[in-house]
């Protein structure tokens, strides 16, 4: 838990919080932890402030249509970040 909080909430972290929560949502999906998945998705939705987009990300994770590997998720970060800003 300490590592999670340090990485996610570190004041010098420049990665957008919505994207960190996206990573948390995806890892929770991979770990098959429904509680963690929902917890991180709520954070993703709150930080992204774009419900349709958040729902699209959730659906992509849950159906594995767009985010099949960790690598593809990280490659998509730049594209997703550009749209958020």
Distance, CA of 1 to CA of 38 (rounded, Å): 17
Q: What is the pLDDT of residue 8?
A: 73
Nearest Cα neighbor of 57 from 73, 70, 69, 71 is 73
Q: What is the pLDDT of residue 15?
A: 87
Q: Average per-residue pLDDT in the chain?
A: 82
Note down pLDDT in tens along the chain; length 85 residues.
677 777 777 788 888 889 999 999 999 998 989 999 999 999 999 999 999 999 999 998 887 655 455 566 676 666 766 665 5
Distance of CA 12 to CAs 7, 17, 48, Å?
A: 10, 12, 19
Q: Pseudo-torsion of CA 62, 60, 27, 81, nearest 10°?
A: -160
Instruction: Write the pLDDT tens digit of every residue in 43-60.
Output: 999 999 999 999 999 998
Domain ranges across the chain: 16-84
């Amino acid at each position: 838990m300490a590592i999670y909080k340090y990485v996610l909430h570190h004041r010098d972290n420049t990665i957008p919080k919505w994207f960190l929560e996206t990573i948390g949502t995806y890892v929770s999906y991979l770990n098959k932890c429904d509680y963690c998945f929902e917890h991180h998705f709520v954070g993703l939705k709150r930080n992204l402030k774009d419900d349709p987009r958040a729902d699209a990300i959730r659906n992509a994770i849950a159906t594995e249509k767009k985010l099949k590997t960790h690598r593809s998720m990280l490659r998509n970060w730049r594209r997703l970040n550009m749209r958020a800003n």
